[in-house]
Amino acid sequence: MLLAGRGVTRDDARAARWLALAAEQGFALAQYDLGLMYTKGQGVERDMSLASAWIRRAADQGLAVAQAKLGRMYEIGRGVERDEVAACAWYGASAANGHAPAEDERARIAGTLDSAQIARAGEIRHEIRGDR
């Protein structure tokens, strides 16, 4: 509510503090939202390393939107080292968890990879704990 200003005055810094409390307790959506706040410097100091770490924690729990975001981060090298194989794997995990747009991203990236890279992406995807 603080982040959206619904029923209260919008306060990004307070929202970040509350999200951090929930994120530290393992709430995946809070981890994802906090990660997004770090990507933007919204209510917190911009920190792409922390952003990717929080988004990764949410992705590891199977939050499909976080998995897609992490795939994008790997694809462009934002907060993590650029790795198109990992991007393909995370997009694939996201698609497997019901995030339909991620399948298009996975297919697009896979079209640029050779067969060994595609095989490695499949191996990584099966290692992802949040892949259902």
CATH of the domain at 112: 1.25.40.10
Q: How far apart are CA 34 and CA 99, in angstroms?
A: 20
3: in domain: no
50: in domain: yes
pLDDT tens digits, 40-70:
999 999 999 999 999 999 999 999 999 999 9
Work out how many domains the chain is built from and give that number. 1
Q: What are the distances in angstroms from CA 86 to CA 2, 16, 59, 69, 103?
A: 34, 28, 13, 12, 14
Q: How far apart are CA 9 and CA 66, in angstroms?
A: 27
Full-model pTM: 0.93
103: in domain: yes
- Angle at the Cα of 105 from the Cα atoms of 69 and 121, rounded to 5 degrees: 85
- 103 — pLDDT class (breaks 50, 70, 90): very high
- 129 — pLDDT class (breaks 50, 70, 90): low
122: in domain: yes
114: in domain: yes
Which of 113, 73, 112, 114 has the alpha carbon at shortest distance from 91?
Answer: 73
5: in domain: no
Range of the domain at 95: 12-127
40: in domain: yes
113: in domain: yes
